[in-house]
Structures are given as structure tokens and as C-alpha cells.
Amino acid sequence: MIVKSKKIKLQTKGKEQVVNVTDEVKQAVAEASVKEGLVTVFIYGSTASVTTIENASYSHEQTWGEDNSNAHLNASLIGPSLTVPIIEGAITLGTWQQIVVIDHDNRSRGREVVIQIVGE
């Protein structure tokens, strides 16, 4: 069994910014040389989340005032991590599906994402 971990750093803008990290996940899986297994993508913090989305550009300009309670709620609903199967050395995503980090906070932040691969 192989277990490999990699961290990537992001500088996000907040306000529902969507950051595509699919290429970084694919690269980490390729570097791990895992043919069958799982990859988990996890974001530190309680105001960001990880999910999949179709290939599209999203922009959300609405502001919620001075606090960021909605950021905490949105992040908890979507969740801080995503696990994707690795089959024949590749992550299993649909044709247009991407792995994204969404920053729900009301300001910019330095973010750290953990990519962990487990398999053979």
C-alpha cells in the first residue's frame, strides 16, 4: 500500500470564489504512481469547502455585510473534503467535472489544501 500526501497553497479572494484544483490533483496522483486507490482533497479552515462542479465560470458578487456567518454555514453544508476513486492510474471525473475549492469568506485569505493518495 502506498500513502502519499501533498500540500498546495492558494491565495483566495473570498466572496464565493471558485478555484479549480483539478490539475494539481491529477499531477499528485500521477506522481504517486497509484493505479488503484483513492485521493482525498481537504481544505483547512471552516469558511471554505471542496466539491466538484461542471466546467463553468461562476461569480457571486453579493456581500453579506461585516460578518461571515454565511461563510461558515455554506462551508459546513458542502464540506471540507472530497474523495475520488483512482482507477487505472487516473482520477474518475466526468468529462466536464472539476475539483474545486470554494472560498465562502468575506475577505481574501491564504489557504492550504491537502491532497492525500492511498492505493496500490
The structure's pTM equals 0.82
Domains along the chain? 2-119 (2.60.120.460)
Q: In the prediction, which pLDDT does 67 show?
A: 60
81-98 as b/e: b if 16+ CB within 10 A: ebebebeeeebeeeeeeb
Q: Is the pLDDT of residue 65 over 90?
A: no
The answer to whether 25 touches 117, Cβ cutoff 8 Å, is: no
Mean pLDDT of 9-37: 94
